[in-house]
Structure 1
């Protein structure tokens, strides 16, 4: 996708907004491209940074409708603001909650694996008392050492992954609060 396709798609998706307001919204994105080009960035980088035009349009529509409801306190505008907020919540529920829950489940499973690898040497060395032989002892010792090392390394890695996951979810929640409040999100 190139700049013109991106802006045309965004303009089409914002066709329900009055022309003057739509031009103001699109001007911000045109300006974003101009500043990016001045800084030597490519169209692909700028489009990747901005994200999907459908998501941007939905957020802009939500901002617009909430802003209209704040200015003109009519039941129609209030209803549109409520629908915009619900549509954003529905998007989060359908498209975001599932992957986040899946990633969280995978994170918990990997934490359990790292914990299991860390305590596995106790079980391996405990089995030494039931099957005593010199070869068995050496095999068990090195398997225990390897398991413990992998468990500790994986635990350290999972701590960093957990911090990253926490920060990403927190930023996304803050972004949604901005969108719902009507602050500038893009």
Structure 2
């Protein structure tokens, strides 16, 4: 296969791609032939190096449609965006806000418990030192150590839960915005 046949075949297989992007795709292969000839290779060797133009076109089209060279999609009209935005607002108001508020309340409550358990040794040790405790200092010390450890463990667990909750909210918000803008369909 000659250089021209190879490039024409490849160009015809990429006919669905807009002219600007097609030229950009073909430029690398034209350059490959030019450099190869300058280095003393014959056309047969060069076409064998490149491979089958059908396989190349399939890969280029797959890359093109994967978004590496994809042109911007047709934008939705303002009226359609308003309708979709209002619909999502109603959906979120009915089905999303109440569960999210409940989960948020539970997370805040558990954070308060973790903070209280972590700070409770101060109260136990202080009351023991001031003589307001009926337990010995040793019992109060180990109770304080246990409560502090429990508070720290709950706090570490809640840190992970809070991060997951935040990431999920951000991901859902991005999804909602992309639906309104036309990136995804609901």
Structure 2 contact 75–181 (Cα < 8 Å) conserved: no
Q: CA deviation at 1:156?
A: 1.0
Residue of structure 2 in register with 1:130 after alignment? 131
Residue of structure 1 in register with 2:149 after alignment? 149
Structure 1 contact 120–144 (Cα < 8 Å) conserved: yes
Q: TM-score, normalised by structure 2?
A: 0.54
Q: TM-score, normalised by structure 1?
A: 0.54
Q: CA deviation at 1:83?
A: 3.2
Q: Which has the higher helix share?
A: 1
Deviations 1:69-119 (A, max 9, x none): 63xx8xxxx3x6533321211101111111111111111111111011001
CA–CA distance in structure 1, aligned partners of residues 126 and 185 of structure 2: 57
For these two proteins, the number of residue pairs brought into alignment is 112
Deviations 1:31-52 (A, max 9, x none): xxxxxxxxxxxxxxxxxxxxxx
CA–CA distance in structure 2, aligned partners of residues 160 and 167 of structure 1: 11
Distance change (3 Å), C-alpha of 1:155 and 1:68: closer
Structure 1 unaligned spans of 5+: 1-66
Residues 1:109 and 2:109 are matched in the alignment: yes
Structure 2 unaligned spans of 5+: 1-73
Distance change (3 Å), C-alpha of 1:68 and 1:159: closer
Mapping for residues 17-166 of structure 1, pairs under 5 Å: 70=77, 78=79, 82-128=82-128, 129-131=130-132, 136-166=136-166
Q: Radius of gyration: which is bigger?
A: 2
CA RMSD of aligned residues (A): 2.3
Q: CA deviation at 1:131?
A: 3.7
Residue of structure 2 in register with 1:4 after alignment? none
CA–CA distance in structure 2, aligned partners of residues 185 and 170 of structure 1: 18
